[in-house]
Structure 1
Amino acid sequence: MIDVDVRPMSRAEFDRWQTDVVDAYAQDQVTAGTWTADEALHRSAEANRVLLPQGMATPGMFFLLGVLPDGTTIGRLWISLTHPRGVSHCAYLYDIEVVAEHRGRGLGRALLTAAERTAREEGAHALELNVFGSNTTALGLYQSSGYRVTTQQMRKNLRTDAQ
């Protein structure tokens, strides 16, 4: 496996990431059929504000960049030591992203391993995450990395005019 280290984001890196993560989450919700395109960006930004009331300084949150030994940034992580549903000793991985031009080289697995190491070093006994059902690449990565389904949401469209 490729060795990936992590380091904290700088303020400027965090600010850029905030824009990217809000946009990506909004799009994921639209793709999943949860939010309309008109409301998605606003709702995503609001959800982010609720989770990060003190921004980068919100206690228990880690905002990290994945870097190769040569200093190349290959991805980003957002880890919370406080689980959103209060699961004891379980950290939560809100975001993991490999930079587009570095995908397909095993770096997602290496970045996930770095996230697990960080959570373990901070005292977590487990790491949980959410993955959208349409993200088959991520599903495969998580399953092959030992993650198991703990809850699952399913939806059926009941409108006859929608496919």
Structure 2
Amino acid sequence: MATVTVRVMTQDEYDDWQRDIAEAYADEQVSAGRWPQEGAVQRARDENARLLPQGPETPRMLVLRGIDGTGEPVGRAWVGLDHPRGAPDVAFLYDIEVLASRRGSGYGRALLAAVEDVVRQAGVPALELNVFGPNRAAISLYDSAGYEVTTQQMRKSL
């Protein structure tokens, strides 16, 4: 099984991640029909800046780089130790990603486990996340890792 440890991102890693995550999040929101295409990337950047006003040093936010056993990067994750909707004793996983070149080798499961360990060590007993319906690989990973559906949002185009 793959093993992964996590550490706080460097400023350069954070800057690259901010660009990548804003583009990916904007695409997800547009694809889900929640945002118009125009201005979506800037909207994503603005949301991230609001949530991470001090970048990787923002209190109660963990902006992490996943590292394999040889010291090579395998992915990244972002966790808020305080739930965005105020749920007590629940952290929120905003983002988790394994590098495309490292996918399919168990790093997703190992990165998720490393993130869970850090959250537990921070004294938070539960972790929640949101996953878009079409992301079947992620849904399968979370299901097999013991996550349960707590809410479900559905839509039908008319």
Give the TM bin, normalised by the shorter chain. over 0.9
1:121-146 deviation per Cα after TM superposition (whole angstroms, max 9, x unaligned): 00011000110111000000000110
2:153 corresponds to? 153
1:106-126 deviation per Cα after TM superposition (whole angstroms, max 9, x unaligned): 110000000100000000110
DSSP 3-state at the match of 1:16: helix
Aligned AA for 1:114? A
Aligned AA for 1:137? A
2:131 corresponds to? 131
- C-alpha displacement of 1:56: 2.3
Q: Distance in 1 between matches of 2:119 and 2:40?
A: 30
Q: Distance in 2 between matches of 1:152 and 1:46?
A: 26
1:15-66 deviation per Cα after TM superposition (whole angstroms, max 9, x unaligned): 1111111111001111111112113112211211221122222210111111
Aligned AA for 2:29? Q
Structure 1 segment 37-52 matched on structure 2, within 5 A: 37-52=37-52
Q: Could you list the runs of 5+ residues in structure 1 that have no partner in the other structure?
A: 159-163
Q: Distance in 2 between matches of 1:47 and 1:8?
A: 21
Q: Could you list the runs of 5+ residues in structure 2 that have no partner in the other structure?
A: none
* The 10-residue stretch of structure 1 (56-65 or 131-140) with the greater mean CA deviation from structure 2: 56-65
1:26 corresponds to? 26
Q: Distance in 2 between matches of 1:48 and 1:5?
A: 24
Structure 1 segment 46-85 matched on structure 2, within 5 A: 46-85=46-85
Give the structure with higher Rg (CA): 1
- C-alpha displacement of 1:3: 1.0
- C-alpha displacement of 1:83: 0.4
Give the ranges of 4+ consecutive aligned residues of structure 1 lying more than 2 Å apart after TM superposition: 53-57
The percentage of aligned residue pairs carrying the same residue is 53
DSSP 3-state at the match of 1:14: helix
1:63-110 deviation per Cα after TM superposition (whole angstroms, max 9, x unaligned): 111111111100001011010011111111111000000001111000
